[in-house]
């Protein structure tokens, strides 16, 4: 594989670029604590985290990762203080309004996963516009999880299958894992090989519960705004040292 010359010799030696994870999930955590450590409002942490998000997505594409899924706003995040939610929404709106300009020249396909029904009609139209504008790109596939929860995603799939069973299109006793996967938000995509969570927390927090059944997990004490390309390379390097048996021996 030809590696872009943006990587130093040292960086190129960290990972085996011929044995990369195909799909990486990232729980972007620690923005609020990053801001608190600096005596700043939580909104400043989210703004810093948004810049890290853009850098890391670019780095992942340059490395050769095929799919990245980022946890941007969960179904539980609605329980946060109203001013923090408003700040997060403003950042998301900015990304939707200006993201295409910032992505200019990058072969990235955007796909939003989660339930968009909680957002305004104008917000939903912006989501659809960005997806439509990038749908023919063939480089990195970027899943942005908005109003997303792993449990609600599974419920969404089950409801679809129940509807088919009621209509007589499928028998309940014939339902398989593949049928459930067909109606997940990531239908047709490879499951994440690696899920990264910075910030010192050691849990999935309702992120890709079905798809992550056999994902390798990588945790770091680094807060998300401080996460760098070197952290990403280290996560991939550690992943490559693991023996993935998928329940076998």
The band of 1, judged by pLDDT with boundaries at 50, 70 and 90, is very low
Whether residue 43 has pLDDT greater than 90: yes
Which is catalytic among the residues 13, 16, 29, 83? 29
DSSP labels for 20-35?
A: --SEEEEE---HHHHH
- List pLDDT tens digits, range 161-187: 999 999 999 999 999 999 999 999 999
What is the pLDDT at residue 14?
Answer: 87
Whether residue 105 has pLDDT greater than 80: no
The band of 13, judged by pLDDT with boundaries at 50, 70 and 90, is confident
Q: Is 97 a catalytic residue?
A: no
Using CA of residue 3, residue 6, residue 7, residue 8, what is the dihedral sign?
positive
How high does pLDDT run on average in the chain? Answer: 93
Give mean pLDDT, residues 106-119: 95
What is the pLDDT at residue 8?
Answer: 75
Pick from 233, 194, 207, 44: which is nearest to 113 by CA? Answer: 207
Q: Is 86 a catalytic residue?
A: no
Give, for 222, the enclosing helix (H) or strand (E): none
Residue 239's CB is within 10 A of a number of other CB atoms, namely: 22
Residue 89: exposure state from Cβ atoms within 10 A (0-12, 13-18, ≥19): middle
- Answer whether 0.75 is exceeded by the pTM: yes
Which is catalytic among the residues 62, 77, 137, 206? 77
- List pLDDT tens digits, range 118-157: 999 999 999 999 999 999 999 999 999 999 999 999 999 9
Three-class SS state of 73: strand
What is the pLDDT at residue 136?
Answer: 94
Write down all domains in the chain, each with its CATH number in brackets.
19-149+190-240 (3.40.1180.10)
What is the Cα–Cα distance from 245 to 79, expressed in whole angstroms? Answer: 38
């Amino acid at each position: 594989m030809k590696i872009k010359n943006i990587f130093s010799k040292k960086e190129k030696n960290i990972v085996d670029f011929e044995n990369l994870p195909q799909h990486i999930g990232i729980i972007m955590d620690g923005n609020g604590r990053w801001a608190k450590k600096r005596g700043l409002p939580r909104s400043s942490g989210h703004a810093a985290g948004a810049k890290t998000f853009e850098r890391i997505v670019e780095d992942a594409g340059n490395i050769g990762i095929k799919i990245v899924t980022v946890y941007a706003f969960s179904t539980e995040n609605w329980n946060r203080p109203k001013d923090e939610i408003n700040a997060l929404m403003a950042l998301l709106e900015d990304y939707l309004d200006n993201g295409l300009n910032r992505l200019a020249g990058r072969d990235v396909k955007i796909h939003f996963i989660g339930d968009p029904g909680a957002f305004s009609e104008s917000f939903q139209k912006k989501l659809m516009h960005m997806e439509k504008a990038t749908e023919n790109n063939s480089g990195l596939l970027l899943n942005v999880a908005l109003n997303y929860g792993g449990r609600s995603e599974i419920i969404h799939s089950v409801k679809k299958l129940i509807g088919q069973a009621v209509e007589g299109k499928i028998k309940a006793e014939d339902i398989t894992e593949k049928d459930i996967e067909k109606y997940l938000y990531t239908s047709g995509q490879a499951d994440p090989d690696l899920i990264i969570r910075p910030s010192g927390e050691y849990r999935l927090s309702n992120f890709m519960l079905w798809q992550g059944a056999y994902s390798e997990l990588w945790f770091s004490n680094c807060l998300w705004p401080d996460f760098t390309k070197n952290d990403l390379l280290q996560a991939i390097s550690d992943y490559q040292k693991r023996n993935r048996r998928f329940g076998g021996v």
